[in-house]
Amino acid sequence: METTRGPSGGAPARELAPTGLVTAAGYVAEGAPSYARAFQAVVNVEVEPRATVPRRAPEAPARADRLWLEHARAASVIDEEECFLVRGADRDWVRVRLTAHTALSAALPPNGGGMIIAMSPDGRRLCALTEEDEDYWIVVHDFEHRPTD
C-alpha cells in the first residue's frame, strides 16, 4: 500500500456535514479497501465493539465521540496531520481533518442505526462509530492483522 492513487477528491458524504470535519488535501493509498469492504468489516456477526456507551446515558453522544477519538488515535487511524479518510459523496474515500468542533455523533440519525467509518490514510486500519440497539459502539479493525480461520 505504499503507492498512492492520487489526491482524494470530492466532498464527504452529505450526512457528514454536521460533524465539523473539513476536507483536506492529500493522497489515498492505492491499496485502500473499498468502502463496501470497510462496511463489511464493521457490520458482520463476528464484530465485537472495542467500547460501548449506552445511548440513554447522560451526555452519551459526547462520551461516544471522546471514546471514538481515543480508539482512533490508539489504532493509528488518525495521522500526524490530524487526517483520516471517510466515505465521500461518490462512495470513494475522501481525506478529512479533525477540527476543534469535530463530533462524529452529529451525523448519526436520531432514531438509531447509523454508522461513520474512519479509515487510516494508508488504508490499513479503521475505527467506526455505530449505533447498535441501545448503545453506541466503537469498532476497530486492522486489515493486515486478522485472526486466521
Q: Say what the pLDDT of residue 2 is.
A: 40
Q: Say what the pLDDT of residue 10 is.
A: 67
User: pLDDT digits over 85-95, tens only?
Assistant: 998 877 789 99
| pTM exceeding the 0.85 threshold for the entire prediction | yes
Residues 6+ apart with CB under 8 A from 146: none
Does residue 118 fall inside a structural domain?
yes
Does residue 17 fall inside a structural domain?
yes
Does residue 3 fall inside a structural domain?
no
Does residue 2 fall inside a structural domain?
no
Neighbour tally for 99: CB within 10 Å: 12
Question: 87 and 12 in contact (C-beta within 8 Å)?
Answer: yes
Q: What is the CA radius of gyration of the chain?
A: 14
What is the residue range of 34's domain? 10-141
Does residue 52 fall inside a structural domain?
yes
> CA 11, 23, 138, 18: dihedral to nearest 10 degrees?
-70
Does residue 1 fall inside a structural domain?
no
Q: How far is CA 146 from CA 6, 30, 47, 55, 133, in A?
A: 27, 20, 12, 29, 26
As for how many domains the chain has, the answer is: 1
User: pLDDT digits over 10-21, tens only?
Assistant: 677 777 888 989
Strand partners, 135: 54, 132
pLDDT at 9 exceeding the cut of 90: no
Q: Which residue has the higher pLDDT, 12 or 97?
A: 97
Does residue 55 fall inside a structural domain?
yes
Question: 41 and 130 in contact (C-beta within 8 Å)?
Answer: no
pLDDT band at 148 (very low <50, low <70, confident <90, very high): very low
What average pLDDT is seen over the chain? 86
pLDDT band at 31 (very low <50, low <70, confident <90, very high): confident
Does residue 5 fall inside a structural domain?
no
Question: 111 and 117 in contact (C-beta within 8 Å)?
Answer: no
Q: Say what the pLDDT of residue 1 is.
A: 40
